[in-house]
Amino acid sequence: MFIEVNKIPPEGLEIDRVLQIQPIQLGSGEQAKVGDVRLKGTLRRAGSDLEFRGGVEAGISLTCSRCLEPFRQPLEGPCHRIFRAGPLGKPESEHALVEEDLALTPFDGIRINLEEVAREQIYLTIPLKPLCEESCRGLCPHCGAALNTEPCGCPEARQETETLTSKLTL
Ligand SMILES: [Zn+2]
Ligand SMILES: [Zn+2]
């Protein structure tokens, strides 16, 4: 869904859209499906820039980092971006991680793509270590049993989890 700059009235354009987003590639190489994406806010001109201020909501399918079960994570967060007309492409890598630059997106000066706005924001909101629940008990390091479903018979399985994990990473 593209918004043409010359269709934005001086007082700004109210946006409240449900968008279709392509799956997002995670750091792990996994593709996460994204659904129910809603982008809501105001798009206005600021000199030759465009500014979007609002929020994004979505549901994303992730894999729990503890029990390895797929689950659906609702995401919600503020979305504030500034679009600056200029050469398209990624900002230089050294600057890419600087917080203020994350809000600055180059565009072609003619139109902006709302899916891209929502997508980038969702990407930034995805937890690094997703958990199906804070209290997720994960897998038994001895027998691999899913401890959320049933306790296994291993003695002291839970106390030894940390020691075993550090041994495995050596
Ligand atoms: Zn879990
Ligand atoms: Zn066990």
- Nearest ligand, measured from the Cα of 73: 1
Measure the CA–CA gap between 120 and 114, rounded to whole angstroms: 10
Q: From the CA of 129, how far away is ligand 1's center (Å)?
A: 10
Distances 130 to 58, 139, 166 between C-alpha atoms, Å: 15, 15, 20
Q: From the CA of 166, how far away is ligand 1's center (Å)?
A: 20
pLDDT in tens, 79-136: 999 998 876 545 554 444 444 555 788 889 999 999 988 998 899 889 989 999 999 9
pLDDT over threshold 90, residue 170: no
Q: From the CA of 139, how far away is ligand 1's center (Å)?
A: 9
Structure tokens at 109: 């000066």
Measure the CA–CA gap between 98 and 120, rounded to whole angstroms: 15
Helix (H, G, I), strand (E, B) or coil at 166: helix
pLDDT in tens, 17-31: 999 999 999 887 889
Measure the CA–CA gap between 81 and 1, rounded to whole angstroms: 17
Kindly tell me the sign of the dihedral angle through the C-alpha atoms of 8, 12, 15, 21. Answer: positive
CA 167 to chain centre: 32
Q: From the CA of 138, how far away is ligand 2's center (Å)?
A: 11
- Nearest ligand, measured from the Cα of 164: 2
End-to-end CA distance of the chain: 48
- Nearest ligand, measured from the Cα of 145: 2
Residue 121 per-residue DSSP state: H
Q: From the CA of 133, how far away is ligand 2's center (Å)?
A: 20
